[in-house]
Amino acid sequence: MDTAERTELVTRFTEEVVEASEIETLFEERESPTAYIGYAPTGEMHIGHFTTMRKLADFIDAGLDVTVLVADLHAHLDDAKSPFELLDARSEYYETAIRAMIDAAGGDTESVSFVRGTDYQLEEPYTMDLYRTIAETTISRAQRAGSEVIRQSENPKLGGLVYTLMQSLDVAALEADIAYGGIDQRGIYMLARERLPELGYSKPACVFAPLLSGLTGGKMSASEAGSKINLTDDDEAVGSKIEGAYCPAGEIEDNGVLEYLRFLVFPVFEERGERFTVERPAEYGGDLEYDSYGDLEADFVSGDLHPADLKPAASAAISDVIDPVRERLLAEPELLASAYPETHS
- Select 60 or 316, whichever has its Cβ closest to RNA: 316
- Select 191 or 258, whichever has its Cβ closest to RNA: 258
CB of 45 to RNA, least distance (A): 22
* Among 82-90, 205-213, 290-298, 305-313, the segment contacting RNA (CB under 7 A): 305-313
Q: Which of 43, 63, 210, 226 binds RNA (CB under 7 A)?
A: 226
Decide if residue 286 touches RNA (CB under 7 A).
Answer: no
CB of 43 to RNA, least distance (A): 15
Q: Which of 197, 281, 294, 341 binds RNA (CB under 7 A)?
A: 281
Decide if residue 228 touches RNA (CB under 7 A).
Answer: no
Decide if residue 187 touches RNA (CB under 7 A).
Answer: no
- Select 207 or 247, whichever has its Cβ closest to RNA: 247
Q: Which of 280, 315, 318, 335 binds RNA (CB under 7 A)?
A: 280
Q: Which of 128, 284, 331, 332 binds RNA (CB under 7 A)?
A: 284
CB of 342 to RNA, least distance (A): 14
Q: Which of 7, 121, 168, 216 binds RNA (CB under 7 A)?
A: 216
Decide if residue 307 touches RNA (CB under 7 A).
Answer: yes
Decide if residue 299 touches RNA (CB under 7 A).
Answer: no
- Compute the distance between CA of residue 136 and CA of residue 77 in angstroms, rounded to an integer: 20
- Select 4 or 139, whichever has its Cβ closest to RNA: 139
Decide if residue 308 touches RNA (CB under 7 A).
Answer: yes
Q: Which of 243, 291, 295, 297 binds RNA (CB under 7 A)?
A: 243
Phi/psi of residue 184, nearest 5 degrees: -65, -20
SS (H, E, C) the chain: CCHHHHHHHHHCCCCEEECHHHHHHHHHHCCCCEEEEEECCCCCCEHHHHHHHHHHHHHHHCCCEEEEEECHHHHHHCCCCCCHHHHHHHHHHHHHHHHHHHHHCCCCHHHEEEEEHHHHCCCHHHHHHHHHHHHHCCHHHHHHHHCCCCCCCCCCCHHHHHHHHHHHHHHHHCCCCEEEEEHHHHHHHHHHHHHHHHHCCCCCEEEEECCCECCCCCECCCCCHHHCCECCCCHHHHHHHHHCCCCCCCCCCCCHHHHHHHHHHHHHHHHHCCCEEECCCHHHCCCEEECCHHHHHHHHHHCCCCHHHHHHHHHHHHHHHHHHHHHHHHHCHHHHHHHCHHHHC
CB of 310 to RNA, least distance (A): 8
Decide if residue 167 touches RNA (CB under 7 A).
Answer: no
Whether 214 contacts 220, CB under 8 Å: yes
Say how many residues touch RNA, by CB under 7 A: 21
Q: Which residues would be at the binding site for RNA (CB under 7 A)?
A: 155, 216-217, 223-224, 226, 243-249, 280-281, 284, 306-309, 311
